[in-house]
Amino acid sequence: MSRRLRMWVLAVGGLGVAALLAAAALRLPGFGGDDHPYGERAVEASLARRTSNTIASVNFDQRAFDTLGEETILFAAVLGTVVLLRQTRDERQVRPAPERVAAPVRRYALVMLPVALLTGLYVIAHGQLSPGGGFQGGVVVATALHLLYIGADYRALERIRPVGLYEVGDAAGEAAYLILGVAGLVGGSAFLANTLLPYGTFNTLASGGTVPLLNAAVGMEVACAVVVLLARFLDQAVEIERSTGSGNDRGE
């Protein structure tokens, strides 16, 4: 298809979609309206189970099964990336050379690393109380580890980051979520139902029944998944090179 024809098809399709979206928007309930039946029921259910962060309650209690699906998508995407970015036969691994880092960068990265790590763990642990949770905290934890790459070099990062271990951690996080689900089933109620543990005291760390445990499982999986993902991309950028004398060029 020529570029010109493609632009025409795009213009016609885009205008059609724009018209449909505008028509749909005009029929939606007005922005900022007071009618949120699902939201009100979700808040009530969350308070009944003494989870002060309603979003954590929706994700890990009321819609826990959907979160299992979401977690599985994350798991599958990591698996796909690991398979796609493996070292192929015509590539070789080179040892990255030690790099010099400017002293202030090194200093601040190394000071920030434990702070960021602790912040990530805090966000995971307080997911049922305050904004945050396993998904957000997991990303913060994984990012904290990579401050070592900025503050020192790739070799230092590789020493504290055995990728195999994090791959196991990824799978263990996913498995822990499933096991907590099955535990609900064994405990005489439904899969992933929040009936296993006492709901605790409102607004304390141990409140919300299984919500903190599911949060921790997700936090572990997300942290490990992001570390594995970044490791694969960084390996491609830093370590893996095309062997000399092979066919087509790298095209970068």
Residue 174 in contact with residue 72, Cβ under 8 Å? yes
**How buried is residue 20: exposed, middle or buried, by Cβ count under 10 Å (0-12/13-18/19+)?**
exposed
Count of other CB atoms within 10 angstroms of residue 45: 16
- φ and ψ at residue 203, rounded to 5 degrees: 70, 30
Q: Of 29 and 198, which has the nearer Cβ to other proteins? A: 29
The whole-angstrom separation of Cα 88 and Cα 211 is 42
* Among 5, 31, 186, 188, contact with other proteins (rule: CB under 8 A): 31
CB of 89 to other proteins, least distance (A): 12
Nearest to 215, CA basis, from 134, 137, 119: 134
* Among 8, 12, 21, 87, contact with other proteins (rule: CB under 8 A): 21
* Among 38, 89, 104, 188, contact with other proteins (rule: CB under 8 A): 38
* Among 120, 121, 135, 181, contact with other proteins (rule: CB under 8 A): 135
Stretch that binds other proteins, among 50-58, 113-121, 142-150, 171-179 (CB under 8 A): 50-58
Compose the 172-211 pattern: x for residues touching other proteins by CB under 8 A, - for all others.
------------------------------xx--------
* Among 8, 12, 65, 66, contact with other proteins (rule: CB under 8 A): 66
Stretch that binds other proteins, among 23-31, 115-123, 142-150, 186-194 (CB under 8 A): 23-31
**Cα dihedral: 28, 32, 33, 36 (round 10):** 90
Q: Of 6 and 107, which has the nearer Cβ to other proteins? A: 6
* Among 129, 192, 231, 238, contact with other proteins (rule: CB under 8 A): 129
**How buried is residue 236: exposed, middle or buried, by Cβ count under 10 Å (0-12/13-18/19+)?**
middle
Residue 234 in contact with residue 193, Cβ under 8 Å? no
